Amino acid sequence: MLTVFTLVLLLFTTLFLLWHRRRFSQQLELQVELQTQELQKANHELEQSNQELERFTYIASHDLKEPLRNIISFTTLLERKKALWAGHDDARDFFSHIKRSARQMHTLIQDVLAYAQVRGGQNQTALSRVNLNEIMVQVQEALQPQLEAKNAKLYSENLTFIEGTPHHFYIILKNLVENGLKYNEHESPMIIVRQALKTEKPRLFVIDNGIGIPDEFKPKVFDMFYRLHGRSQYEGTGLGLAIVQRLAGSLGATIEISDRPGGGTIFSIEFAN
């Protein structure tokens, strides 16, 4: 009798466990389905956000830049029509302010567009071994007018190959060199792009003899639109270093800032590979 009772108890216990397991499985399947729906919703919202970003990119590339080009062009034409403003001593200053503001807006649109493209992943391509000497030739050519205007020298040392994308390296190095050139009051501005050869991980240094960055501001200079100086002192949008950090991050690199002995700044970029 006891054996039969034990068997019946075991049977009921087994059935209860099976029922409980089935119920647990159903609840788990329901949770998975709900999470899947939430994920699909999030993906849909992300897709819509990316579409909006693409529309913004188009607007920034065409609809916003075109009026600015017209403002600059017509202001230049008015400057040439001296008969219209002869005798007005302030007119030339007014034209200069209009053109400078339009150029600042044009630069801002370009930088916001670049940052948006970085955030949207539009610059992501397959990684390859990038010849940094070739990149520096392109940077030199792009910044030659600014280098000549400030009687500045741009040097490169020990550059070889680093895993990445040519476009990313070009934007990173161009922005850092431009930064060292812009914030530089030395009588002989100098920027050096150097690669450390005897390190476990690839490391690049961009060194300048400019005005430097105070320690309390070093953690902030990579923030969007953060500026240490007013536009009356140095032109810019406050996006250049934010773009550099974002692109470096996409390559698995980290950036550190230190002071150059004797004055200036050293940007150190360490890559993961």
Provide the residue ranges of all domains of the chain, joining segments of one domain with +: 64-119, 128-270
CA-closest candidate to residue 56, choices 105, 150, 120, 8: 120
Q: CA 247: distance to chain centroid?
A: 5
Quote the tokens at residue 175: 């922005």
pLDDT band with cut points at 50, 70 and 90 for residue 122: very low
Per-residue pLDDT tens for 42-66?
777 777 766 666 666 666 666 667 7
- In terms of C-beta density within 10 A (0-12 exposed, 13-18 middle, 19 or more buried), how is residue 175 classed? buried
Q: Residue 123: its pLDDT value, please?
A: 47
pLDDT of residue 40: 79
Would you say residue 172 has pLDDT above 60?
A: yes
Question: Distance (Å, rounded) from C-alpha 226 to C-alpha 101?
Answer: 19
CA distance 68 to 171: 24
Instruction: Pick the more confident residue, 5 or 140.
Output: 140
List, for residues 90-121, the tens digit of each pLDDT value.
777 777 778 777 777 777 777 667 666 665 55
Q: Is the pLDDT of residue 266 over 80?
A: yes
Q: Is the pLDDT of residue 137 over 90?
A: yes
pLDDT mean across residues, the chain = 81
pLDDT value at 132 more than 50: yes
Question: Does 128-270 carry CATH code 3.40.50.300?
Answer: no
Give the position of tokens 């996006």.
239
Maximum average pLDDT range among 86-90, 126-130, 147-151: 147-151
Give pLDDT, residue 191: 97
The overall pTM is greater than 0.85: no
